[in-house]
Structure 1
């Protein structure tokens, strides 16, 4: 059997946005357990301080920086706090997020802008500030962006969220090329976990409630759907932050429950040719028997027990 590599982040410094609770807290705690110094970020000061307390009581080192992500100024504050407290920045985890779910015809400009500002612009500004610092100090670095199955497949009622998460996946692929010469890897993680945000998805809500009541998730969910606790998703972050993942970049990696996956990049699923080019009539004549004979599915499949 090959020797299991050691994931040791001793001396590394990480910022985790939106880490006062839920998945963000799980990521920050996992990084601290692996030896990293962590800047916890949240807009809720009490939640951020509780997170710092839980990390320090477990033997880690952490400080809180309370600011809403989305602006360049906020991103600079987070990077500046890491450098001020710990002397450098090695890892940026862009986890902060909100939901404003509405179907298209009921979604307001404010609903759309709020989600895009936090998820997409927040990821951009924080990654940009981190990249500037990492390139200046040398030695590489890690950008770990947080995506979602909604960004890979779409999800009913989540125009804003799905669009932002799809953009984050595209950012990971683009930045992995742009930052390669600086030794900075860029990956998007695609977590699936029982959180306050997941509870708003009707298919998962009953299972989140069951967990609150102390009932374990069934095996078909943990393996078949890759759905579990926030802590189940946390191991992926220190791995991607470590030397063991030094050659992993530009990828979308899924994790949840007992399941670890690699998402495919968008690709041409089928192709047809017409000498001299296509007319509308020619496309209509062949669509259902060639290119369109096996259309792609959309949406996040609802969980089904083995008996269904």
Structure 2
């Protein structure tokens, strides 16, 4: 996959999945602007990419505010003359049960994930549209979702809401940006990171992989679709490439040995009643009509081998 001369901005690229995305894009030939709230981490990633023969610069800052988003795009243009790819990976967690969650915990997560995605994509698309009018170049937007945003997850009101909102924006943006040749997709990665290392079912396997180089077991890689950050990076490179020019508005899962396409919400059962529905009429027919296929919620628990 050749991304030579393309310019990519990756937010939250100081470690974990963001580091894997930035490194893979650079290895494919892209010039990369590395963003992270931790300036030392961003600088370290740049050194790593340059040391491997790639091209990258650091532009630290916590995403969310418009000025940070615009600065990222400006840095790409100043350094490399354009922006072709944006990957919005930056994120934080403030997990808490609903009745214990504070306003600050809710707002912090939405500011980084939801507002940060919005402001960064808006800034990038404004520039990409201008470039498209000039030479038909278009662009690639890759935003990061989560299984929690698709299915919900206990203790993650803020995170689930933000990730579900991000996917909703993707569907809208894919339509709005189509004429400019800009594709917009969401990826749903499942990988060994600092976030998932706190999950008891995964923790010992992640620790063994990180500390001793023990490969993740097959039941995790294939059965659960859970892998390393590097396992998820190929999807980002593909979506950034010319080969993915017709792929837009999609939510794509990646993890370990598993690649998947998430369905968009749709009506699964429909029932009609002449004159409309009263509460009594709904109660009388619920179990035999629309209520006969209740939808599952929550992320299924890992099937840990005994």
TM-score range, shorter chain: over 0.9
Q: Deviations over 1:192-246 (max 9, x none)?
A: 0010011233443333223234332221110111101000100000100000000
In 1: Cα distance, 2:91 partner to 2:142 partner: 14
Q: Which moved more, 1:149-158 or 1:204-213?
A: 204-213
Q: Which residue of 2 aligns with 1:286?
A: 285
Q: Does residue 160 of structure 2 align to residue 166 of structure 1?
A: no
1:188 aligned residue: 186
In structure 2, the partner of 1:3 is none
Q: Which residue of 2 aligns with 1:75?
A: 69
Q: Does 1:96 align with 2:90?
A: yes
CA RMSD of aligned residues (A): 1.0
Task: Please list the CA deviations of residues 48-100 of structure 1 after superposition, one character each: whole Å capped at 9, or x if unmatched.
Answer: 11100111111100000011100110001000000000000000100000000
1:280, distance to aligned residue in structure 2 (A): 0.5
Counterpart mapping for 1:35-74 below 5 A: 35-74=29-68
**Cα distance, 1:306 vs structure 2:** 4.7
Partner in structure 2 of residue 273 of structure 1: 272
Cα distance change, pair 281–292 in 1 and its aligned pair in 2 (3 A): same
Q: CA–CA distance in 1 between the matches of 2:152 and 2:297?
A: 6
The equivalent of 2:128 in structure 1 is 134
Encode CA deviations 1:244-263: one digit per residue, 9 max, x unaligned. Answer: 00000000000000111000
Q: Is 1:208 aligned to 2:206, yes or no?
A: yes
What's the counterpart of residue 5 of structure 2?
Answer: 11
| Cα distance in 1, alignment partners of residues 178 and 301 from structure 2 | 38
1:254-305, CA deviations, whole angstroms, 9 ceiling, x for partnerless residues? 0000111000001111111111110101111111222112211111111113
List, as ranges, runs of 4+ consecutive aligned residues in structure 1 with deviation greater than 6 Å.
none
Which one of the candidate residues 147, 150, 153 is aligned to 1:152? 150
Task: Identify the residue that residue 259 of structure 1 maps to in structure 2.
Answer: 258
SS of corresponding position for 2:8: strand
Q: Secondary structure at the match of 2:290?
A: coil
Any residues of structure 2 matched to 1:96-115 within 5 Å, and which? 96-115=90-109
Tell me, which stretches of 5 or more residues in structure 1 are unaligned?
Answer: 1-6
Q: 2:130 and 2:231 mapped to 1: Cα distance?
A: 34
Distance of 2:229 and 2:51 partners within structure 1 = 20
The residue number in structure 2 matching 1:197 is 195
**CA separation of 1:244 and 1:272: change in aligned 2, threshold 3 A:** same
Residues 222-241 of structure 1 aligned to structure 2 (within 5 Å): 222-241=221-240
Distance across 1 between alignment mates of 2:211 and 2:79: 40
TM-score of the superposed pair, with normalisation by structure 1: 0.96
Separation (CA, whole Å) in 2 of partners of 1:200 and 1:305: 16
What TM-score comes out, normalization by structure 2 length? 0.96
